Amino acid sequence: MKKVLVMCTGNSCRSIIGEALINKYINGVKACSAGVKPSGKVNPNAKKVLEENGCWDGSYHSKHLDEVLDMDFDLVVTVCDHAKESCPMFPKPVKKIHVGFEDPDGKEYEEFVKTFDEIRVKLLPKISEALK
């Protein structure tokens, strides 16, 4: 089982959605997510879009990068520019890729649906390719 870490700043929207989509759609891969400045909560609209698409798992929660530093990952994925800038601080040698997405936080629910679809279409194939 390969392990992927999805990082962003707040770990409340994009990285949680990415984690959920990877876990649902990429066989043989276990994802988790973290933020460099976590909000401490999953955005309700992010949770809603995941629930409506059968991707929600009650274990998903907003957490700081420090909480996953002891884990070994095959790939670290950043989904926002701030996390990309912070990613070199990740203390272990691991392959890294960046695929940026606009933050839907504070916007209407439709923006979360759009972000969900973009992450599914753009990020999942890049992760599959990077793990080959």
**Boundaries of domain holding 88:** 2-130
Q: How confident is the model at residue 13 (pLDDT cuts 50, 70, 90)?
A: very high
Going from the C-alpha of 69 to that of each of 34, 57, 81, 104, the distances in angstroms are 10, 22, 20, 27
> What's the confidence (pLDDT) of residue 88?
44
Nearest to 28 by CA among 66, 75, 67, 60: 75
- The CATH number given to whatever domain includes residue 92 is 3.40.50.2300
Going from the C-alpha of 77 to that of each of 3, 6, 88, 122, 127, the distances in angstroms are 11, 5, 12, 12, 8
Identify the active-site residue in 8, 13, 32, 55. Answer: 8
Domain count, the chain: 1
32 among known catalytic residues: no
80 among known catalytic residues: yes
> What's the confidence (pLDDT) of residue 89?
55
Identify the active-site residue in 13, 32, 55, 80. Answer: 80
Residue 2 tokens, joined? 């390969």
> What's the confidence (pLDDT) of residue 127?
97
Identify the active-site residue in 13, 32, 55, 87. Answer: 87
What is the tens place of the pLDDT at every residue in 34-77? 998 899 999 999 999 999 999 999 999 999 999 998 899 999 99
13 among known catalytic residues: no
> What's the confidence (pLDDT) of residue 32?
96
What is the tens place of the pLDDT at every residue in 75-130? 999 898 665 545 545 667 889 898 989 899 999 999 999 999 999 999 999 999 99
